Every structure is written in C-alpha cells, then in structure tokens.
Amino acid sequence: MRLLLIFISLLTIASGCNKWLDAKPKTLIESEQLFKSEKGFEDAMYGVYTTMSRSSLYGEQLTMSFLDVLAQQYNCQSKPSHIFYQVANYNYLDGGVKTRIDSIWSLMYFSITNLNNVLLNIEGKKSMFQPQNYDLIKGEAIGLRAFLHFDLLRLFGAPCLTGAAKPAIPYIKTVSGGVTPLSTVSAALDSVISELKTASALLSGYKTINYNYYEPENQLQNDWLNHRQSHFNYWAAEATLARAYLYKGDKQQALVHAQNVIDAGFFDFQTPKRISDLNDRTFIPEHVFALSKFDIRPLENKYFRVTGGVNVGTDIQLTNSYGNGGVVDQIYEINAGGVSDIRYGRLWELSGSVYFCSKWWQESSNPIFNNWVPLVRLPEMYYIAAECSDPATATTYLNTVREYRGVPDLPTGLDAAAVQQELLKEYQKEFYAEGQLFYYYKRLNSPVIRFSVIAPSERAYTLPLPDSELQYRN
C-alpha cells in the first residue's frame, strides 16, 4: 500500500454529550504534539470517525448510494443518463466509476494509517488516561482497523467461497513507508478475526450502551463513556466478528457472536410510536454501531427528494417504482401482508410525484435524533443467527424481526432453501439504502442479483485496485 502522509484532523469539539455530533475538521498538527495528552488521542479518534463519515465512505458511497446501486436497489441500470448508470452496470473501467473506487480505497487506508499512528503512540502511556479509557481507545483503534480492512476485503477481494487463496488487499498494521504485500482473502480474513478478538477483549471492560444517553441523568463525567453506539464499542466488535465468521463460512462461531449481541440487553427493536413521536427513521435503539454525519441534509435532498415541488433531477434521484406492483411493492411483498410492514409504511414518502425511501429524512425537532448513519443494527444479528441455525430455529429468529416490523409470521416447516430465500427478502427490506445487500450477494457468490439484467460474476463482485496502487507495486 502506498503510504499516505499522516495527517490527524483536529476537531471543533462542543462541550458535553454533543461533541461527537458537532465534530468538524479544524486544523492539522504534528503527531508528537497531538499525543501528549488523553485529549489528543480522543481528538485523533474523532478524526478517524469523521473521515469515515465522509461522502466517499460510509456517509454516502458505502451506505446509501454506490453499494446499493450495485445491489440494484435503485432504478439506474436501464437509464443511460443516470449518474450511477455505469456503476449499476458494473463498468468499473469507466472514468467516473474509477474515481469513486479510488476515493474509497484512499480514504479507507488514510483512516487505517491514522489508526496505526494512534496505536504506535499509545503504547506505554496508560498513566495519562482516565480509568478505562486507555483500553477503550486502544480497543476502538484495533477494532476499527479490522472493521475497515474487512470492508476493503469485501469490496476488493474475490468472493471468499471461490477465491479464498487469491491475493486481495494489503493488511497494514504499521506506519512505515514500505510496500505491504497483498494478503490473500483467507489470510486477510484471519487477520480481521484475530484483531477483532483483541479489540473485544480490550473493550470488554465497559459494555454499557444507553441510547437515551442524552437524558441528563444518563450523562457521565467521563465523556468517552457517553453514547458508545457512536464508538466502535464492545458489541460492535462482537457483531463484526459474527459478520466475519459468517463470511469465512464458520457458522458455529458466527452464531456465538451474533447471539452475544442479541442477548446483550442493551438494544431494542424500533416501535411505530417512536417513529411518530421522535421521527427516528434510522431506528436508533437498534444501532450497534453508527456514525454521525453533520452534513447529511444535502445528500437527502440530492438523492431522496424532489426539490422545488416538481419532478426534477431524475438522473440523480435514487428510487424505484412504487405502487401498482412496482419493484418496491415486490420487495416488501405488498400482496402477502407486507402493506403493514413499518419499513414500507413509515420509511417511504411522497416527494413531488415520486416516492422515495425516507430513511434519510432525519428531521426531528430534537437534533439528537438526526444525522445518524447506522453501520451495524440489531436485526442483522438475528439474520446471521438464522443463517447459522436449523430451519425451525431460523424461522423463529426471522419471525422475531417480522413481528416487530408488523408483518405476519412465516409458516412452520420451511426447509433450508426456503429459509435462505426469506433471508434474502429480509436483507432487501431491512437494509434498503444502507449498503449491506451487495455484501450478502457476494458472500454467497450468488449467480443472480434480483432486478439486475446482468448476471453477476467474480468481476462484478470484485472492485479493481486503483491504477495508482498497481503502478506503485510495479
């Protein structure tokens, strides 16, 4: 990997519980100065989280746009004038698509470089930290490094089912300027799992999650302990271990870690009342790990609304046919009881003459409920547990989620193939505009992507390394 110059973004930090919500880049300073205090390490970590929330990464491309375009959640593949047309057709050699891919690669490794710098400088400085914070910050840095490498692997590596021995990505754990060899898919995945275990152990000293953290009685003097959902917390490590083990094909271990999160007691399913009362469209009680993105409104208006009250920007809007048996109706199975599904009834809204997924219409009168980008949510743990269980148990896991979403239970007696089909449907419904569906297809090396006219192949499932990276290695 071409080593990126190490810059750490200092942040404008608001006092109290909202410092993470209002964090914005301020300046760049030398790491020697930055790491002279606990606050410096905290600022460095906030800088990484802020980078992750940028539009090139999880603030757009790896959630609401690029990845869900690849998964054919939007009607772009048949519209040559659409800005995501080439993406939807898996034309990774197109100049505009290459620019998107290059920015993902560069910013992911920029974040990893900064995490490596944190970890290099934190050793031997435990005495400068408040109780618990040394292990938490170190655990978050190691866990985030694994989280980012895992998503790089899921993007740029071949499908694990067919390409475990193929070179994939550099797994970088130092800040040296040398060339890091490409790890195979299997080796990179083993490194991800190993680091997540290390992170989990470090983070296990503080497992508390309180999504009502904004209430004065829930505020802690040690601010690093407030709103752990916006940090890579212990349960995020466990959830990512469940993802990684399932990607590897180790269903026994995937089930163990998914069940740990399910049994945690800190996460609740969203309720219709909470959506109505708080306008909580990202389902905050279900967030295992989420990022704050203070500039989310322009993206909401760009992709998921008709501005000016007329149907304009159709070559930019991200939506699909709604009503009259259209794609959205098919996804939510309107003819089979899906009309009562809160993901359909509460997360799709009319703007102008077009229906949009309104998950990103975060407009609560209380700003604490706005500007959230969920990266891991509770229902996924039920889906992983279902995939790792016998059909009868799997049906129970799926029905738990369905009951909270307001749809009828699945019948008993489903076989394994039927369960897998129901899982696909759930991933489509649950993670619309969140970017997880493409990973589901790729993990299974699925020969079909629903609603795509192009049969997927390893080429479609594997983003190419940037030209600059290839030139550097040559």
Q: Residues 317, 433: contact at Cβ < 8 Å? A: no
| pLDDT tens digits, one per residue of 340-349 | 999 999 999 9
Residue range 250-277: mean pLDDT, rounded: 96
How confident is the model at residue 211, as a pLDDT? 74
Q: Locate tokens 């692997």: which residue?
A: 153
What are the Cα distances from residue 35, in Å, to 55, 100, 240?
28, 33, 28
- Considering the entire predicted model, what is its pTM? 0.93
| pLDDT tens digits, one per residue of 400-433 | 999 999 999 999 999 999 999 999 999 999 999 9
Model confidence at 10: pLDDT above 70: no
Residue range 379-396: mean pLDDT, rounded: 98
User: Predicted confidence band at 4 (pLDDT cuts at 50, 70, 90)?
Assistant: very low
How confident is the model at residue 8, as a pLDDT? 38
Model confidence at 320: pLDDT above 60: yes
More confident residue, 48 or 9: 48
How confident is the model at residue 127, as a pLDDT? 95
Instruction: Fill in the amino acid letter for 162.
Output: T
- 9-299+357-374+432-473 belongs to which CATH class? mainly alpha
Query: Strand pairing partners for 348?
Result: 357
Model confidence at 397: pLDDT above 50: yes
Sign of the CA dihedral running 105, 107, 108, 111: positive
Of the listed ranges 312-316, 427-431, 447-451, the least confidently predicted one is: 312-316
Residue range 158-174: mean pLDDT, rounded: 97
Report the distance separating Cα 320 and Cα 327, nearest Å. 6
How confident is the model at residue 366, as a pLDDT? 82
User: Predicted confidence band at 350 (pLDDT cuts at 50, 70, 90)?
Assistant: confident
Of the listed ranges 26-40, 168-182, 421-435, the least confidently predicted one is: 26-40
Model confidence at 313: pLDDT above 90: no
End-to-end CA distance of the chain: 12
What is the percent of the chain with per-residue pLDDT over 90, rounded to a whole number? Answer: 79
CA dihedral 290, 295, 296, 302 (to 10 degrees): -150
Model confidence at 24: pLDDT above 60: no
What is the percent of the chain with per-residue pLDDT over 70, rounded to a whole number? Answer: 91
Q: Mean pLDDT in the chain?
A: 90
Model confidence at 312: pLDDT above 70: no
How confident is the model at residue 21, as a pLDDT? 36
Residue range 197-212: mean pLDDT, rounded: 92
Which value, in Å, is the radius of gyration of the alpha carbons in the chain? 21
More confident residue, 467 or 221: 467
User: Predicted confidence band at 217 (pLDDT cuts at 50, 70, 90)?
Assistant: low
User: Predicted confidence band at 316 (pLDDT cuts at 50, 70, 90)?
Assistant: very high
| pLDDT tens digits, one per residue of 321-347 | 988 889 999 999 999 999 999 999 999
How confident is the model at residue 218, as a pLDDT? 57
Residue range 101-112: mean pLDDT, rounded: 98
Residue range 244-253: mean pLDDT, rounded: 98
How confident is the model at residue 219, as a pLDDT? 66
More confident residue, 104 or 176: 104
More confident residue, 226 or 9: 226
More confident residue, 177 or 426: 426
How confident is the model at residue 22, as a pLDDT? 39
How confident is the model at residue 248, as a pLDDT? 98
Least Cα distance to 433 among 315, 274, 303 occurs for: 303
Q: Residues 145, 235: contact at Cβ < 8 Å? A: no
